Homo-oligomer: A and B are copies of this chain.
Amino acid sequence: MSLRNPIIKEMKQRVYEANLALPQYGLVKLTWGNVSEIDRALGVIVIKPSGVKYEQMAPEQMVVTDLAGNPLEEDGMKPSSDLSTHVILYQAFEKINAIVHTHSTHSVMWAQAGRDLPAYGTTHADAFYGTIPCTRQLTEEEVKSAYERNTGQVIVETFQERQLAPTEVPGVFVYGHGPFTWGETPAKAVENSLILDEICLMAKENEKINPAMQSIPQYLLDKHYYRKHGMHAYYGQK
């Protein structure tokens, strides 16, 4: 694999644009947040550099690593400190191609509260097939040793224990920290971050408007999710 491969340049451009979309959508403040994309065939991950301001970022600065997260460019920048979490997720979730981490306001509220997000309406069902899980709290040992890898591991553990498909539930809350979302493309993963933040906002207010809130029925969840996903989808221009 050559770093001059034009596919890498395209990945950098997509990852760059998806990172820029985060502040544009109001999903990150300062330098909080990162987007990555994987090309498994090529054996590369492209991710935002660590702590760089969005307004000063350039596409070339996106960091290229191998599938284990080792930087490949000699004079490249340091990758996002959350890279190891992305690496673990890409290893475990084979069908996802892009990952987003933000500190978006309403998603972080649910992560800090340590609560799963019930499907209270069709806006949720349009993008997430059911309850969005919150991980358990990491243990002291998990935090002290390989914290970022263990953040990935606890997400994987959560999806395994609950028997969730990452393609059907493209997001998670890490207890005390914040959300990760993913998707087929960087743009789609960012879109899932946006939707997650919006449904978190609506859900928290819903519990005040109606303290007896219930999830929508399974048949309505099915209808909305499959109206937009899978073989029988009929939303959009395809």
Q: Is A223 an interface residue (CB 8 A)?
A: yes
Given A109-B202, A138-B220, A209-B115, check contact A123 B103 (CB 8 Å).
Answer: yes
Docked pose: A114 CA to B198 CA in angstroms? 18
Contact of A121 among B111, B144, B202, B206 (CB under 8 A): B111
Docked pose: A120 CA to B113 CA in angstroms? 8
Residues of B within 8 A of A29 (CB): 194-195, 198
Residues of B within 8 A of A111 (CB): 121
Is the Cβ of A140 less than 8 Å from the Cβ of B108? no
Task: Please tell me how many copies of the chain the complex holds.
Answer: 4
Is the Cβ of B114 less than 8 Å from the Cβ of A210? yes
Contact with B along A142-165 (1 / 0, CB 8 A): 011001000000000000000000
Q: Is A137 an interface residue (CB 8 A)?
A: yes
Q: Is A49 an interface residue (CB 8 A)?
A: yes
Total residues of chain A contacting the partner, CB 8 A: 59
Q: Is A204 an interface residue (CB 8 A)?
A: yes
Residues of B within 8 A of A112 (CB): 120-121, 202, 206, 213
Docked pose: A237 CA to B52 CA in angstroms? 8
Residues of B within 8 A of A198 (CB): 29, 105
Q: Is A50 an interface residue (CB 8 A)?
A: yes
A151 shortest CB reach to chain B, Å: 10
